[in-house]
Chains A and B, each alone.
Chain A
Amino acid sequence: DAKTTQPPSMDCAEGRAANLPCNHSTISGNEYVYWYRQIHSQGPQYIIHGLKNNETNEMASLIITEDRKSSTLILPHATLRDTAVYYCIVRVNYGGSQGNLIFGKGTKLSVKP
Chain B
Amino acid sequence: DTAVSQTPKYLVTQMGNDKSIKCEQNLGHDTMYWYKQDSKKFLKIMFSYNNKELIINETVPNRFSPKSPDKAHLNLHINSLELGDSAVYFCASSQTSGGGQYFGPGTRLTVT
A interface, how many residues as a size bin? 20 to 34
A39 to chain B, nearest CB (A): 11
Q: Are B98 and A44 in contact (CB under 8 A)?
A: no
Q: What are 7 A-B contacts with C-beta separation under 8 Å? A: A44-B101, A45-B103, A47-B100, A49-B99, A49-B100, A97-B53, A99-B98
Q: Are A96 and B96 in contact (CB under 8 A)?
A: yes
Tell me the residues in window 24-64 of chain B with beta carbons closer than 8 Å to chain A beta carbons: 29-31, 33, 35, 41-45, 48, 50, 52-53, 55
Q: Are B45 and A93 in contact (CB under 8 A)?
A: no
- In the complex, per-residue mask of A28-56: 1 if CB is within 8 Å of any chain B CB, else 0: 00001010101001111111010000000
Q: Are B100 and A96 in contact (CB under 8 A)?
A: no
Q: How many contacting A-B pairs (Cβ < 8 A)?
A: 73
Q: Are A96 and B48 in contact (CB under 8 A)?
A: yes
Q: B42's closest neighbor in chain A, by CB?
A: A103
Q: Are B96 and A95 in contact (CB under 8 A)?
A: yes
Q: Given the complex of chains A and B, what is the CA–CA distance between A95 and B53 in angstroms?
A: 12
Chain B residues in 8 Å Cβ range of A49: 99-100
Chain B residues in 8 Å Cβ range of A47: 100
B60 to chain A, nearest CB (A): 12
Q: Does A9 contact B (CB under 8 A)?
A: no
B32 to chain A, nearest CB (A): 10
Q: Given the complex of chains A and B, what is the CA–CA distance between A38 and B88 in angstroms?
A: 13
Q: Given the complex of chains A and B, what is the CA–CA distance between A36 and B37 in angstroms?
A: 15
